Amino acid sequence: MKGILLCGHGTRVQVGELAFKVFAEKFANTITDYEVEYGFLELSEPNFEQGISKLKAKGVEEIIAVPVFLFNGVHIASDIPNMLHELQEKHEVSIKLANYIGVCQEMVDLSIDLIKNSISDEDMSDTVFFPIGIGASMADSNGDMLKLSRLAQEELKMPFMINAFTSRMTFPSVDKALSILDQLSFKRIIALPYIFFPGVYLDNAIRSIEAFKLKHPEKEFILCPKIGESDRLIDILMLRLKEVEDGKVDLIESRDPSACSHHHHHHHSHGHHHHHGHSHDHKH
């Protein structure tokens, strides 16, 4: 029997854990050929090992791990493949690891879908696009965030865009970006959170946005739903699953064993949490 382990990051916020659980159940109801369990990299339970044990208890011998991570980073490149490789040896089960979502037309379409469903007027001539990401320690990941949002901006012909990031790993912060928006004359701002599930990061961003809206009643400020709320997300994860089924991808097989994983010594003393598809190296 075959199984899928949906891999989340983990969060200190219970509402984020619950949202991932609900998403995993929705995913399980969509797919018929696999047993489905989920696990978190850190901060939350069940962890990966507990998820694998549940699949084994159901008679699963082959597992495809599907990461609900938006961009590449230390977790995808090192932590997750190394951890799953160790668990594969320990539990004597076959595990293959699918790719992260990344910049793809399907993700651009998902973005556009969320924006179009949030607005009543499609005239973009006086609109600034305000995509909000988590941010990463790897510049390439932040570059991918900008590329993805730029592709959505181009398709919708929005004349201006400013990105913001909610973590302290990169810049500009949401508050800094809002201070720049404060000086611009655009009458409408469309904010899109490239965040899968609720948590501290999004709460902080919303708090800043609410303060901005009070200060600028003359501007229309539209906050789109999180990307985790789109029905298209499961379709995209199915594409990543198919890449493994077709023998094109296995991030465990292709990992660099010399790139030592740091997942055994994560230190979370920095007063905020992580909860979604991002990457970081905990040096902040």
Residues annotated as part of the active site = 9
| Whole-number Å distance between alpha carbons of 68 and 141 | 15
For residue 170, what are the contacts with CB-CB under 8 A and spacing of at least 6? 135, 136, 137, 142
Per DSSP, the three-state class of 38 is strand
Contact 138, 72 (CB under 8 A): yes
Nearest-10 crossing angle of helices 174-181, 200-215: 20
Q: Using omega within 30 degrees of 0 as the cis cutoff, is the peptide bond preceding 217 cis?
A: no
Q: CB neighbours (10 Å) of residue 230?
A: 20
Q: Is 218 exposed, middle or buried (0-12, 13-18, 19+ CB in 10 A)?
A: exposed
Q: How far is CA 266 from the centre of its chain?
A: 19
Burial class (CB in 10 A: 0-12, 13-18, 19+), 53: middle
CB 4 within 8 A of CB 36: yes
Taking alpha carbons only, the member of 190, 121, 204, 182 closest to residue 161 is 190
> For residue 46, is the peptide bond before it cis, meaning its omega torsion is within 30 degrees of 0?
yes
